[in-house]
Amino acid sequence: MKNKMVTHTDELLHVFQDNQTILAGGFGLSGSALTLIDIVAKSHAQNLHIVSNNLGDRGIGLHKLFMQGQITKATGSFFTINKEAVMAWSEGNLAIDLLPQGTLAEAVRCGGAGIGGFYTKTGVGTALAEGKEERTIDGERYIFEKAIKGDIALIRAKKADRLGNLVYHTTARNFNPMMATAATTVIVEVDEIVEKLDPEAIVTPHIYVDYIVQTTYKKEGDFYVEA
């Protein structure tokens, strides 16, 4: 059995390089791989393109990475909450590719599924359709959206077995299962590594997962803190 377990997170520092595209699961901080993002922060990889619904929150997760100046481009659906990101964008220091949330999810799903792109009704006639190909199918207007793939995916799950089969926890699932299929190297952060998972309950099968890391965070009220 290939050993995917990472005991010392410094072993992963070499994975992160300048100019990579990183898919980061999570909706806000729920389902965000905070321990893995700390490794990216420690790697000092620069000029990163982050694909994630948001850019972290309250000083942790992607917010930390952004504040360290490692992110130069972000693709996602909702960045308004992050005041520093809004400011960086207005000063020309951050490129943003804004997508409707469903388009973002489907683009990543396609990226992992060997589909080059798709036509969607979402966004037709809006500012977000500018420059995109439009096509009428059965009398309805659609726009073309390209699939998204990454070099690295940072995944947050609840449990893994030693091979990397994954189950998730409540709404922390969100973008993680798609992102786990759409990157060259996939790293997962879990609460617990177990001997066996119920095959009926596995959401992400092990073939997608390259490395497994135990989380260093715990939940405290509505926030996450280092354990």
**Contact residues: other proteins, CB under 8 A:** 27-31, 53, 77-81, 85-86, 89-90, 96, 98-106, 108-109, 120-128, 141, 168-178, 203, 219-224
Shortest separation between residue 48's beta carbon and other proteins, angstroms: 18
Q: Which is nearer to other proteins, 85 or 160 (CB)?
A: 85
Give the burial string for 152-168 (b: 16+ CB within 10 Å, else e).
bbbbbbbbbbbebbbbb
In this structure, what DSSP letter does residue 136 have?
E
**What single string gives the DSSP state of each residue in 37-55?**
HHHHHHHT--SEEEE-SS-
Shortest separation between residue 98's beta carbon and other proteins, angstroms: 6
Q: What CA–CA distance (Å, rounded) separates 65 from 115?
A: 30
Q: What CA–CA distance (Å, rounded) separates 117 from 108?
A: 10
Classify residue 129 as left (phi > 0), alpha (psi -120 to 50) or beta: alpha
Shortest separation between residue 7's beta carbon and other proteins, angstroms: 25
Q: What CA–CA distance (Å, rounded) separates 74 from 52?
A: 7
Q: Which is nearer to other proteins, 20 or 176 (CB)?
A: 176
Q: Which is nearer to other proteins, 114 or 221 (CB)?
A: 221
Shortest separation between residue 146's beta carbon and other proteins, angstroms: 16
In which residue are the tokens 């199918």 written? 137
Shortest separation between residue 143's beta carbon and other proteins, angstroms: 11
Q: Which is nearer to other proteins, 7 or 170 (CB)?
A: 170
DSSP, collapsed to helix, strand or coil, labels residue 148 as coil
Q: Which is nearer to other proteins, 11 or 97 (CB)?
A: 97
Starting at the earlier edge strand, list the strands of the sheet with 71-76.
Answer: 5-6, 211-214, 183-190, 150-156, 21-24, 48-51, 71-76, 95-98
* Helix H or strand E segment including 106: helix 101-113
Q: Which is nearer to other proteins, 141 or 146 (CB)?
A: 141
Shortest separation between residue 134's beta carbon and other proteins, angstroms: 11
Closest CA to 175 of 75, 41, 40: 75
Shortest separation between residue 63's beta carbon and other proteins, angstroms: 14
Q: Which is nearer to other proteins, 42 or 205 (CB)?
A: 205
